[in-house]
């Protein structure tokens, strides 16, 4: 079973994927952040099941995370204040 945790801090978003999986030994994944105009505004990659994105340059509002994990795409909405 795979577990996804998205933590929203004052200046960053942390995405952690943990658990047993057949995707890879390292839990590698890619993250992209999109605004309401569907423009990618941030991205990051992890090879250890974790990525930290700096959000200080983003305007307050709702954004969409696309987390590419193996063949899966996980979509989450986040609020930047």
Between CA 80 and CA 75 the distance in angstroms is: 16
Q: Model-level pTM?
A: 0.75
Q: Do 42 and 56 touch, CB atoms closer than 8 A?
A: no
User: What does the pLDDT read at residue 1?
Assistant: 43
Q: What CATH number should be reported for the domain whose range is 2-80? A: 2.60.40.3080
pLDDT tens digits, one per residue of 62-80: 999 898 888 888 898 888 8
Please report, for the chain, the start and end positions of each structural domain, with discontinuous segments joined by +: 2-80
Per-residue pLDDT band at 35 (split at 50, 70, 90): very high
């Amino acid at each position: 079973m795979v577990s996804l945790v998205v933590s929203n801090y004052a200046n960053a978003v942390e995405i952690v994927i943990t658990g047993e999986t057949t995707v890879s030994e390292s839990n590698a994944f890619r993250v992209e952040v999109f605004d309401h105009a569907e423009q990618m505004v941030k991205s990051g990659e992890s090879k250890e099941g974790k990525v930290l994105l700096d959000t200080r340059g983003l305007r307050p509002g709702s954004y969409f995370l696309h987390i590419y994990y193996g063949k899966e795409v996980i979509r989450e909405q986040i609020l930047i204040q």
